[in-house]
Amino acid sequence: MKNDTPEELNPDKEIGRLIDEVMSSSLTDEQYRKKMQRRKEVQDQRIAQAVPEKGLIIVNTGNGKGKTTAALGMVLRSLGHGYKVAIVQFIKGSWEPSEKRVFSSWEDQIEFHAMGEGFTWETQDRDRDLDKASAAWEKSLEYIRNPDFHLVLLDEINIALKMGYLPVEDVLAGLAQKPANKHVILTGRGAPQALIERADLVTEMTLIKHPFRDQGVKAQPGIEY
């Protein structure tokens, strides 16, 4: 039987095995040190073999909270590095969210377009929702194609796709036009499978408890908006 060498081992499995082993309370201090040293070797090897840079298509989806919040964390990082960022909101436009006021401090680096008119049950006008989604997508394409913008956030675009306001084929074709090093984040529940398959990074937020559903607590400033 062929023995596994470090080069042949799957790095993820190797790190998982080492984590399981170091959680054992029976390890001596020396055994713990050696296993953590091995973990560092595996991690260093992975980093050394990694591609130095690639523009990513990032999808934040799922029924849990935090999809837009996680995306805004990446926006802040990009701003901190001095990059230009564009945000296009597809659904939440009627809120004039607090994030827009905060980001005005970086007005020379960021462009923010809230182009929706609120949730679909508020607008109650499918034709108008279609027109708004189409306009938001055209604006998004301008930033996706523009090499001056390092990061583009398409907030709640997955909702527009799920509701049929935008054809997923059009969005995939538009994403294919981005410069090689540009990052694009697409948020919202119900991301279509074709988009998930095309993306480089996909995170699903899982709903376990929610104060509105479980306790009847309304959306609050600083938490939801």
| Catalytic residue status for 203 | no
Catalytic residue from among 5, 8, 107, 121: 121
Q: Look up 212 and say whether it is catalytic.
A: no
Point out the catalytic residue in the list 65, 100, 162, 198: 65
Catalytic residue among 33, 77, 126, 128: 77
Cβ count near 165 (within 10 Å): 22
Alpha-carbon span 193 to 27, nearest angstrom: 44
Is 65 noted as a catalytic residue in this protein?
yes
- Could you confirm whether 121 is annotated as catalytic? yes
d(CA 68, CA 54) in angstroms, rounded, equals 22
Task: Catalytic residue, from 14, 60, 61, 67: name it.
Answer: 67
Could you tell me if residue 54 is left (phi over 0), alpha (psi between -120 and 50 degrees) or otherwise beta? beta
**CA separation (Å) from 28 to 15, 125, 134, 163?**
19, 67, 62, 57
Active site residue 33: no
Active site residue 69: yes
Q: Which of 17, 35, 119, 198 is catalytic?
A: 119
Quick one: 149 exposed, middle or buried, by C-beta within 10 A (0-12, 13-18, 19+)? buried
Of 137, 156, 178, 182, the active-site residue reads 156
Instruction: Tell me whether residue 68 is one of the annotated catalytic residues.
Output: yes
Query: At 120, is the secondary structure helix, strand, or coil?
Result: helix
Out of 41, 46, 63, 126, pick the active-site residue.
63
Q: Is 112 a catalytic residue?
A: no
Q: Among residues 68, 92, 149, 158, which one is catalytic?
A: 68
* Residues labelled catalytic: 63, 65, 67-69, 77, 119, 121, 156
